[in-house]
Structure 1
Amino acid sequence: MNELLNILLMAPQGKGQGGAWGSFIMLFAIIIIFYLFLIRPQVKKQKEVRTFRSSLNKGDKVLTVGGIYGKITDIKDTTITLEIADNVRIKVDKSGIIKDSTGLEEKK
């Protein structure tokens, strides 16, 4: 037991981990990569969706999140009334509108 303790105490000491600056640089690089590849494109997409929803007008043909095609008949602050068939109207939240379906319905 005493010999094992002497061997461990006489073992050469290893060098430190190179300093804290290397760790900070790597952490900073990871944050920059996340920003460029994940956060920035998502913010850009949200801005496009927000401008699309604010530019909606009566008579526009749209597609909802649930896959319902309709024509806008009334717009309020947070809700939109869609006519999905003759005399069939539904009220949906503005966040439920995905995109303009003018070209989509004609392709079918």
Structure 2
Amino acid sequence: MNESFKALSDPTRRQILKLLRGGDRTAGEIADHFHMTKPSISHHLNALKQAGLVFDERRGQHIVYSLNTTVVQEVMGWLLGLMGEPAEDQSQPKEEDSDEME
């Protein structure tokens, strides 16, 4: 998870993740949202990929990036727990639900 936090420390990478929340995008589509070189965007995408926050898939001549929601949810759950707000555990019934079952 340390790699995830390191990747999230950069505002450009956080913005890329926001873009990918809206759906898969090619590297060129992502680069169109920034005023930086394509090699710089590639560096950021690689850092996100190494952290497990995004997937990449070759589709024809393009590489398409998508959000790895599993890892993002894990990181968010950890952050919420750190702030004292535990993420809901869907596998356990709530106390009020268990009373109704008796």
Same-fold status (TM-score > 0.5): no
Flag the structure with higher strand content: 1
If each structure's helix is expressed as a fraction of its own residues, which one has the higher value? 2
Ranked by relative contact order (alpha carbons within 8 Å, sequence separation 6 or more), the top structure is 2
